[in-house]
Amino acid sequence: MPAGPVAAFKLQHPGTCTGMFWRGDPRSSGSAPSGEWPRNGSILHGHVHKDVGGDDWLQVTEWSQAGKTSLSKAPGAWMPFHQGGLLLHAVGK
């Protein structure tokens, strides 16, 4: 399944979580990155993959932690669009 163009999304968990741990590639058994994880308000840039395992996923290429402007690379990092509600909200790049 081809990935979409690079898009930007703001992470905002709909419940009481302060952010989300990275996920591995949902199409395989790849492991998730173990580094710093994005908090609510972080901006994630990447490619949208539609309907993988019942959800849409963002294959993250780079991101900025909430409250920061510098971008960090995110090799192997994925994020689902939903968990208890919508997590990723579209923003301009």
pLDDT at position 2: 52
* pLDDT score of 3 more than 70: no
Cα–Cα nearest to 58, from 9, 2, 1: 9
Count of the separate structural domains present in the chain? 1
Domain that holds residue 63: 6-91
In a domain, 39, yes or no: yes
Decide: helix, strand or coil at residue 43. strand
Question: What pLDDT is attached to residue 1?
Answer: 46
Residue 1 lies in a domain: no
Separation CA 4–CA 70 (nearest Å): 24
pLDDT in tens, 21-34: 999 999 997 788 88
Specify the pLDDT at position 30: 77
pLDDT for res 31 = 87
Domain membership flag for residue 17: yes
Residue 90 has pLDDT above 50, yes or no: yes
Each residue's pLDDT tens digit, 20-77: 999 999 999 778 888 899 999 999 999 999 988 889 999 999 999 999 999 999 999 9
pTM as predicted: 0.90
> In 3-state terms, what secondary structure has residue 10?
strand
Q: Are 47 and 6 in contact (CB under 8 A)?
A: yes
